[in-house]
Amino acid sequence: MTNFVYIATSLDGYIAAADGGIDWLNEMPNPSDNDYGFGEFMDKIDAIVMGRNTFETVVSFGVWPYERPVFVLTNSLEDIPDGYKDKAAIVQSEVVDLVHDLNARGYENLYVDGGLTIQSFLQQDLIDELIITRIPILLGSGISLFGQLDTRLRFRHMQTDVYDNSMVKSRYARSRE
């Protein structure tokens, strides 16, 4: 059972501009129409857990990109919008309980997405792999990937791939010994 983070950040560690914008991400040239390993990553995933803000961003795309069930953490959203009810469900539990519940339902490998959501998981030491793609831009401000932790969490570097001599994707596994 593995909980993964797979996310892109600016060089200064932001996952979105202060207004939530990810234009800087979408504007990256992709001359070879590469998915940068995302499809291969998704093949390992049983379900996605994301925060309400990330869910709303994905809905705004107009095209639903996931073929796995999505669980949306929220205390404010009362209902999944029409058109997405067969794709996503609202969850309101503590993240530890959520992981136990999803694992018990057969969702063993989880993709955890959204800054605050990832931070909630890290605070409970529930992330096993971090896959972070650094985009060569300094945003100067924005929504941070990481936040405060009560204890240090060590990770082991597993692999780094460079795409288009521009994006640097590094995979880190949690080192608990």
Ligand X SMILES: NC(=O)c1ccc[n+]([C@@H]2O[C@H](COP(=O)([O-])OP(=O)(O)OC[C@H]3O[C@@H](n4cnc5c(N)ncnc54)[C@H](OP(=O)(O)O)[C@@H]3O)[C@@H](O)[C@H]2O)c1
Report the site for ligand X in 79-118 (rule: CB under 6 A). 95, 113-117
15 binds ligand X (CB under 6 A): yes
Backbone phi, then psi, for 95, in 5-degree steps?
A: -65, -35
Contacts of 138 (CB under 8 A, 6+ apart): 10, 11, 12
Residue among 109 and 143 whose Cβ is closer to ligand X: 143
Euclidean distance between CA atoms 143 and 112, whole angstroms: 16
Among residues 2, 25, 68, 170, the one that binds ligand X under rule CB under 6 A: 25
Among residues 52, 68, 87, 174, the one that binds ligand X under rule CB under 6 A: 52
Closest CA to 13 of 163, 131, 138: 138
Work out the burial of residue 105: count CB atoms within 10 Å of its CB; fewer than 13 is exposed, 13-18 middle, 19 or more buried: exposed
Report the site for ligand X in 113-142 (rule: CB under 6 A). 113-117, 120
CB 59 to ligand X: min, Å: 11
Residue among 101 and 175 whose Cβ is closer to ligand X: 101
Residues contributing to the site for ligand X (CB under 6 A): 7-8, 15-16, 20, 22, 25, 50-54, 57, 73-77, 95, 113-117, 120, 143
